[in-house]
Structure 1
Amino acid sequence: MNASASVRNGRTEVERAARGSVVKGAARAGFAARGLIYLLVGVLALQIAFGDRGHEADRQGALGEIAQQPFGVVVLWALGAGLAGMALWRLSEAVFGAAGPEGRTAKKRLPALARSVFYGFVAYSVLALAAGSGDGGGSSDRQSKDVTARLLGVPAGQWIVGVAGAGIAVAGLWIGFRAVTRAYHEKLRLGQMSRRTRRLVDVTGVGGGAARGLVFAAAGGFAVRAAVDYRPDRAKGLDDTLRSFAHTPAGPGLLAGVAAGLVLFGLFSFAMARWRKV
């Protein structure tokens, strides 16, 4: 066997492993981990809506709640491993292509790579917290303001922050649109669900995706405002973005609705762990 044939065979074996049961199991663990975090963030946001202001409704707040529970450290290790599995699966999609007819195109590979980096960072922060050497990634509000301040201090910083904020807002609208139109159906093994189960999954997918999209759109809007006003403190992380809903004319009721939607998205992520095509 010549060298080129050996390389091809080696690549085939690696690709087969990347599409094998281990990576698929890692992906499903990642969806379950994501679901637990969103579920807890939604519950914390509900508590804020009903008057409990002592919690942070973001990833750090959710992880802090877990850490305080019996066997919380064990759960954190499991969460970190699940998120690392999600990062591994997304990396395999970026390298070898995702499932579906357009899975090997750049428009599928590049987002997969970005998601791999994101979930890798989140997994690292969770595992560091479990090991006692981190804070779960820090407050989303502080991170948002710090990053915005640094970007506003570079040449063309206002444009960078403004374009990034607009991109996040558009992504939020797109997430909401795809949820309402049930575009996620193409990624689910619908044939394995009963009619009742499919209806329940649609409730979580539509409601949860719409709420998640609204939060992204609002956070992007705050970033644009920070760029226009040249004020980093105008930028908001997840916690501040959620709290801002309570200050609208709809009052805490809107925050409660969005929070309930995030709980639904957590449940939808559990459904994805069970029925997602990977």
Structure 2
Amino acid sequence: MNTSVLARSGRFRARRVARGSVTEGAARAGLAARGVIYLLVGALALQVAFGDTKQQADRGGALAELSQKPFGAVLLWALGIGLAGMALWRLSEALFGSVGPDGRSARKRLLATVRFGFYVFVAYSVLSFAASRNQSGGGSSDRQSRDATAKVLEMPAGQWLVGAAGIAIVAAGGWIGVRAVLRKYRDKLRLGEMGPRTRQLVDVAGVAGGAARGLVFAAAGVFAVRAAIDYEPDRAKGLDDTLRTFADTPLGPWLLVCVAAGLVLFGVFSFAMARWRRV
């Protein structure tokens, strides 16, 4: 009897270790893939800031740029698989909980579920682009945003729905930025494995990158709220138009340069997370 119980316990531990290894690998691959996308989007935004108005500074533009590189098809498939790994990791967090004292709380599981749905969509779009070799990069984020806003506005209470979504995006942007400035990401990093110099560099990338990412989210949310108030879908903006708006401020293109550099830093920070995050 004891032998049977020990055998079952051993098999359970083996499955748990195997699942943990798979989940950890998927998480690190997904974080690295996210880093690649933010690096490319930031680099494209820098080109826009310095006068190259033909570039599309969003995920579609990043995919199109990557497809033109040597071994572009292989890189696109690797990127899509990495993002699918990110979705798998978020699903495991929704089902089994995440690291940290409150990792099994309902709030954390709900947040993981939302992230799972988001990364399923992103991974699908990247893999679809890799399979079809669609040189448009899966479509402009601006057109997708306007089309989605127009469809929702036609629904009953559509203005309220778009407005609520915009406010939620603004709140998410503020949450992202504040947490970055407060360096909340440190709670999830294996800081003991870093040297002092590495920790400083990660802090620079994490704070500046997270603040820039939060600002972009918040700005996109503001445009969605304006679209709801004015009942004009064209006021909604995707990532590309949102970034270009920064160049139209009194600060000129330099604000866009700062935001673009922040997105590049967030890409670097994502690589650091892929290396040192506790999963």
TM norm structure 2: 0.93
The match for 2:47 is 47
Instruction: Provide Cα deviations, 1:139-171, integer angstroms capped at 9, x if missing partner.
Output: 110111011001110111101000110110011
Q: Amino acid of the residue matched to residue 131 of structure 1? A: A
Q: Amino acid of the residue matched to residue 191 of structure 1? A: G
Q: Within 1, Cα distance between the matches of 2:111 and 2:18?
A: 18
Q: Within 1, Cα distance between the matches of 2:131 and 2:262?
A: 32
2:77 pairs with 1:77: yes
The match for 1:258 is 259
Q: Within 2, Cα distance between the matches of 1:256 and 1:66?
A: 21
**C-alpha contact 1:205 1:264 (8 A) present in aligned 2:** yes
Q: Amino acid of the residue matched to residue 22 of structure 2? A: V
Q: Within 2, Cα distance between the matches of 1:128 and 1:67?
A: 13
Alpha-carbon RMSD = 2.0
Instruction: Provide Cα deviations, 1:78-128, integer angstroms capped at 9, x if missing partner.
Output: 001100100001000001111111111110001111111111111111111
Specify the SS of the correspondent of 1:131. helix
**C-alpha contact 1:204 1:268 (8 A) present in aligned 2:** yes
Q: Within 1, Cα distance between the matches of 2:241 and 2:120?
A: 24
Q: Amino acid of the residue matched to residue 221 of structure 1? A: V
1:15: Cα distance to partner?
7.2
Could you tell which deviates more after superposition, 194-203 or 125-134?
Answer: 125-134
Q: Within 1, Cα distance between the matches of 2:108 and 2:22?
A: 22
Q: Within 2, Cα distance between the matches of 1:207 and 1:43?
A: 16
**C-alpha contact 1:17 1:23 (8 A) present in aligned 2:** no
The match for 1:177 is 178
Q: Within 2, Cα distance between the matches of 1:110 and 1:12?
A: 27
**C-alpha contact 2:62 2:137 (8 A) present in aligned 1:** no
The match for 1:215 is 216
The match for 1:199 is 200
Alignment CA distance shift 1:14-1:132 (3 Å):
farther
2:74 pairs with 1:88: no
Alignment CA distance shift 1:14-1:154 (3 Å):
farther
1:133: Cα distance to partner?
6.2
**C-alpha contact 1:148 1:235 (8 A) present in aligned 2:** yes
Q: Within 2, Cα distance between the matches of 1:153 and 1:56?
A: 28
Q: What does 1:150-169 align with in structure 2 at a 5 Å threshold?
A: 150-169=151-170
1:137: Cα distance to partner?
3.8
Instruction: Provide Cα deviations, 1:163-213, integer angstroms capped at 9, x if missing partner.
Output: 110110011011110001101000101010000000000000000000000
2:150 pairs with 1:129: no
Could you tell which deviates more after superposition, 112-121 or 245-254?
Answer: 112-121
Q: Which runs of 5+ in 1 are unaligned?
A: none
The match for 2:107 is 107
2:190 pairs with 1:189: yes
Q: Within 1, Cα distance between the matches of 2:59 and 2:175?
A: 23
Q: Within 2, Cα distance between the matches of 1:183 and 1:64?
A: 34
The number of equivalent residue pairs is 273
Q: Within 2, Cα distance between the matches of 1:17 and 1:117?
A: 26
Q: Which runs of 5+ in 2 are unaligned?
A: none
Q: Within 2, Cα distance between the matches of 1:244 and 1:131?
A: 32
1:138: Cα distance to partner?
2.1
**C-alpha contact 2:180 2:207 (8 A) present in aligned 1:** yes
Q: Amino acid of the residue matched to residue 84 of structure 1? A: A
Q: Within 2, Cα distance between the matches of 1:102 and 1:23?
A: 19
The match for 2:25 is 25
The match for 1:248 is 249
